[in-house]
């Protein structure tokens, strides 16, 4: 049995992983999907000073207070920044880091800098014109998201604090020694933001590499296939 902890993506929350819980439980694994500060059901805590470090501390606090060890940490999308920070802060509690269609940043990187120019401009302009200078309006969900899922999720997607995108990732070591996997969702969206990280991982023998015929949120649109890959990673993590 493995313990999985998810660092979810921007504008998202733990609740969107609900389809994964019974699948991972049936496979004998524990799945923790905490919501980052200022998002989801924690939207009432949102303020302009929330930054990447707050979200890294959110996940570190889960590892400590749940007393989790030998954890497989999954960073989805923006959550790749969070997962990288957690792996730097608490490597002794982790066994593997999974980047699920995610940024795989290095020290000093920001989400805004790694984004495509089109998305970068959209986020900054959205915060300026619609978010009092700090709230970035939610991105649309992929086009293959069902109407029922759009109705379920979109009212519960909240603006992302801009400082989570602009704060530089601070690391104490150049690169983690932990085993890493990358899962690339091949139904790519505009700009293919995660393709460069996927190709880099696929070319590096230190990484395990997987592809999914899915759009950016497989925990919503392809949970069974995602569960199969996560279980395969758990089986081979040693």
Per residue in 192-201, pLDDT (tens digit) is 899 999 999 9
Query: What's the confidence (pLDDT) of residue 189?
Result: 77
- Structure token pair of residue 3: 């313990």
DSSP string, 139-185: PPPPTTS-HHHHHHHGGG--PEETHHHHSPPP-SSSS--S-EEEEEE
Reported as a single tens digit per residue, the pLDDT across 172-194 is 987 889 999 999 999 997 778 99
Query: What's the confidence (pLDDT) of residue 117?
Result: 93
Which residues carry out catalysis?
77
Q: Which residues pair with 136 in a beta bridge?
A: 160
| Mean per-residue pLDDT, 151-168 | 98
**The pLDDT of residue 238 is above 80:** no
- Could you tell me how far CA 16 lies from the centroid of its own chain? 12
Share above pLDDT 70 across residues of the chain, in percent, rounded to a whole number: 99
Query: What's the confidence (pLDDT) of residue 237?
Result: 54
**The pLDDT of residue 74 is above 60:** yes
- Structure token pair of residue 18: 């609900």
Query: What's the confidence (pLDDT) of residue 190?
Result: 76
Q: Which CATH superfamily is domain 3-236 in?
A: Alpha/Beta hydrolase fold, catalytic domain (3.40.50.1820)
Among 39, 89, 41, 97, which residue's Cα sits nearest to residue 70? 97
Neighbours of 18 (CB within 10 A): 13
Reported as a single tens digit per residue, the pLDDT across 98-147 is 999 999 999 999 999 999 999 999 999 999 999 999 999 999 999 999 99
Residue position matching structure tokens 């606090």? 61
Query: What's the confidence (pLDDT) of residue 184?
Result: 98
Domain boundaries, the chain: 3-236
pTM for this entry: 0.97
Reported as a single tens digit per residue, the pLDDT across 24-49 is 999 999 999 999 999 999 999 999 99
Query: What's the confidence (pLDDT) of residue 175?
Result: 84
Confidence band of 1 (pLDDT split at 50, 70, 90): confident
């Amino acid at each position: 049995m493995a313990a999985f902890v998810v660092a979810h993506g921007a504008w998202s929350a733990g609740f969107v992983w609900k389809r994964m819980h019974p699948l991972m439980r049936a496979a004998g694994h524990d799945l923790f999907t905490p919501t980052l500060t200022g998002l989801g059901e924690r939207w009432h805590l949102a303020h302009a000073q929330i930054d990447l470090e707050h979200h890294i501390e959110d996940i570190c606090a889960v590892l400590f207070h749940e007393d989790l060890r030998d954890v497989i940490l999954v960073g989805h999308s923006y959550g790749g920044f969070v997962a990288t920070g957690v792996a730097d802060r608490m490597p002794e509690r982790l066994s593997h880091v999974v980047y699920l269609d995610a940024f795989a940043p290095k020290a000093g990187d920001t989400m805004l800098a790694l984004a495509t120019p089109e998305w970068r401009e959209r986020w900054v302009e959205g915060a300026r014109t619609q978010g009092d200078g700090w709230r970035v309006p939610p991105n649309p969900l992929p086009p293959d998201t069902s109407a029922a899922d759009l109705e379920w999720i979109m009212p519960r997607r909240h603006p992302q604090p801009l400082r989570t995108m602009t704060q530089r990732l601070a690391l104490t070591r150049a690169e983690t020694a932990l085993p890493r996997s990358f899962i690339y969702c091949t139904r790519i969206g505009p700009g293919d933001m995660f393709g460069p990280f996927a190709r880099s991982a696929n070319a590096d023998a230190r990484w395990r590499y997987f592809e999914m015929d899915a759009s950016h949120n497989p925990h919503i649109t392809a949970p069974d296939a995602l569960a199969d890959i996560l279980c395969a990673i758990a089986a081979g993590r040693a």
